[in-house]
Structure 1
Amino acid sequence: EVGYALREHLLPLATIATPNLPEARILAELPEGTADECAEKLLPFCKNLLITGGHGDEEEIHNRLYSRDGQSHTWTCQRLPGSYHGSGCTLASALAGRLALGEQLQSAVKSALDYTWRTLRDAEQLGKGQYVPRRLPLDFCS
């Protein structure tokens, strides 16, 4: 019911949605779906879709941007060791900020992905759990 409500009522209001692949599968009701299959099912509800690939175990992460007009673009980055809490919200907020500044979609996505990767590269493990992204520059925190 939640996936249906998000897909039918919330996605049409968004400029872009940023689910990871497991979330996209739930929204698309495709438990084993690929990013391409999920995008095909979800794009009628959303203008743009960035499906992130960090939840796999491949050495390289593939983040895929799909647009309703048929355009798509893939960015890859090196998988970092460890498990992270806050990577999705870091990406979504960085992307929202870049778009609010007037940056074009594809450039804003790349900027947000690059920023998020750096926050994860510099992340801290505050206890024995997941790493937390370092959202402030290292020299600012010193």
Structure 2
Amino acid sequence: MRVVCSIAGSDSSAGAGIQADLKSITANGAYAATVITAVTAQNTLGVQGAWPMPLDAVREQIASVFDDLDVAGVKTGMLGGSETIELVAYELVSRRPGFVVVDPVMISKTGFALLAEDAATTLRRKLLPLATLVTPNVHEAEALTGLSIKTVDDAQHAGEMLVEAGALAALVKGGHLEGAPATDVLVTSEATEVFEGEWIDQRHTHGTGCTYASAIAARLSQGLELQDAIGSAKQYVTEAIRGGLDIGHGIGPTDHFWMTRSD
């Protein structure tokens, strides 16, 4: 079984963050190892607090995973601040995993900042050049590029800028693009591909971005080409959204194990 290491923050409600990564990677047929970069207190109503892990703790977790397990690739999520980003980038250069999927987590669905204001520049300069794929949503892509993204063409332009910044490929997730909901735009140095999906009117979508990026990472670890990995992951996350769980009093999580439900 192929090993994917998620380097991300913890979500106490287990709908997003490293808990969502664990579930998504497992559901897509790979083994998930984890490095926790931050601890959040959150639930379906929002994020109540966030605390970064000490740098030594992050460094030692990375060493523990890579010194023992044969890691096929890495997926990053919430990194919190510039120092953690720089540490993770240094370790990735040193450890050389087969691929790196960068999910540039910046803000929660309810508006809580999960990345320090000055850290976006560090992420762009240090982490994007190491990315096999970067998977921003529209708001994250706007923050990383300075563009206003409304259309598929705008998303393509943003993807091109992210590739110019060093990423091998950029998948701009367009959940709210004008006239093209559930449409994602993949940009590489060679081509652009549009992934159209079914728009599902669903309230319970907590953790969708983490789930999607982790599913892509799991499929990449199994040897799928990038476009095929994205297509498979998009089908998976579409069904996970369709089965969104009515848990708690706010925005519930997607159903990572929808395929096991008899109903």
TM-score by length of 2: 0.50
Does 2:209 correspond to 1:92?
no
Provide the identity percentage. Answer: 31
CA contact (8 A) 1:82 1:130 kept: no
The 2-side partners of 1:79 and 1:22 are apart by 19
* Correspondent of 1:122 among 243, 248, 256: 243
The 5-angstrom pairing of residues 60-139 of structure 1 reads 60-69=181-190, 71-83=191-203, 84-139=205-260
Shift of the 123–58 alpha-carbon distance from structure 1 to 2, 3 Å rule, reads farther
Structure 1: segments with no counterpart, 5+ residues: none
Q: Once the 2 structures are TM-superposed, how far is the Cα of residue 20 of structure 1 from its aligned partner?
A: 0.6
The 1-side partners of 2:233 and 2:138 are apart by 18
Deviations 1:93-116 (A, max 9, x none): 000000011101110010011101
CA contact (8 A) 2:177 2:183 kept: no
Instruction: Give the length in aligned residue pairs.
Output: 140
Give the 4+ runs in structure 1 shifted more than 2 A.
55-60, 137-142
CA RMSD of aligned residues (A): 1.9
Structure 2: segments with no counterpart, 5+ residues: 1-117
Q: Relative contact order (alpha carbons < 8 A, sep ≥ 6): 1 or 2 greater?
A: 2
The 2-side partners of 1:22 and 1:73 are apart by 20
CA contact (8 A) 1:49 1:65 kept: yes
Shift of the 13–59 alpha-carbon distance from structure 1 to 2, 3 Å rule, reads closer
3-state SS of 1:43 partner: helix
Q: Once the 2 structures are TM-superposed, how far is the Cα of residue 56 of structure 1 from its aligned partner?
A: 4.7
Point out the structure with max Rg over C-alpha.
2
Shift of the 78–57 alpha-carbon distance from structure 1 to 2, 3 Å rule, reads farther
Shift of the 81–8 alpha-carbon distance from structure 1 to 2, 3 Å rule, reads same
TM-score by length of 1: 0.89
Higher helix share: 1
* Correspondent of 2:145 among 7, 28, 31: 28
